[in-house]
């Protein structure tokens, strides 16, 4: 019963995470069999903050394992978030809220983006990092967006 409640809670929380749209990719290593290793650029909108889009670039492993979804992607990533419209907060924001999460290995490794609100500077801060069930990676990237009025068309 407890497991069922946990799974139900997880399924209800899934729509609160952003899903990424691929913007483009470049090949970095040619593979004879399977897709090439590449760097992928993806965009996602913050589900709790209207007017903010984040761009994430990260490595995707190719080859046979990568083509089958069995390869482990590297931990490095870069992020740039931008104000793309009027910023409107949808409810209360909690520091460290998970905005985006994607599996980067078959089971134990994920890449995630979390958000912080720097109230003193009126700024949204986004952090991307990779973690593993046993041991995470200290590699990370951060970006910040000051919450400014959005100019209206005249």
Q: Cα 105 vs. chain centroid, distance in angstroms?
A: 15
> 3-state class of 107 per DSSP?
coil
- Give the model's pLDDT for residue 17: 67
Q: What integer is the mean pLDDT of 129-152?
A: 83
- Give the model's pLDDT for residue 4: 46
pLDDT averaged over every residue in the chain: 78
CA distance 78 to 95: 20
Neighbours of 104 (CB within 10 A): 23
CA distance 72 to 58: 12
Q: What integer is the mean pLDDT of 95-102?
A: 90
User: Under a CB-based contact definition with an 8 Å cutoff, are residues 141 and 57 in contact?
Assistant: no
> 3-state class of 72 per DSSP?
coil
- Give the model's pLDDT for residue 105: 59
Residues 6+ apart with CB under 8 A from 98: 17, 112, 113, 114
Neighbours of 59 (CB within 10 A): 17
CA distance 22 to 55: 10
Least confident range of 5-9, 62-66, 104-108, 135-139 = 5-9
């Amino acid at each position: 019963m407890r497991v069922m409640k946990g799974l139900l809670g997880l399924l209800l929380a899934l729509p609160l995470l952003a899903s990424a749209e691929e913007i483009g990719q470049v090949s970095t290593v040619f593979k004879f069999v399977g897709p090439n290793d590449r760097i992928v650029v993806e965009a996602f909108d913050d589900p709790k903050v209207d007017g903010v889009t984040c761009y994430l670039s990260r490595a995707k492993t190719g080859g046979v394992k990568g083509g089958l979804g069995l390869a482990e992607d590297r931990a490095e990533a870069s992020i740039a978030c931008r104000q793309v419209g009027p910023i409107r907060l949808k409810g209360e924001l909690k520091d460290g809220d998970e905005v985006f999460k994607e599996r980067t290995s078959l089971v134990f490794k994920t890449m995630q983006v979390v958000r912080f609100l720097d109230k003193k500077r009126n700024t949204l801060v986004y952090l991307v990092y990779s973690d593993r069930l046993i041991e995470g990676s200290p590699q990370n990237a951060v970006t910040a967006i000051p919450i400014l009025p959005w100019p209206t068309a005249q």
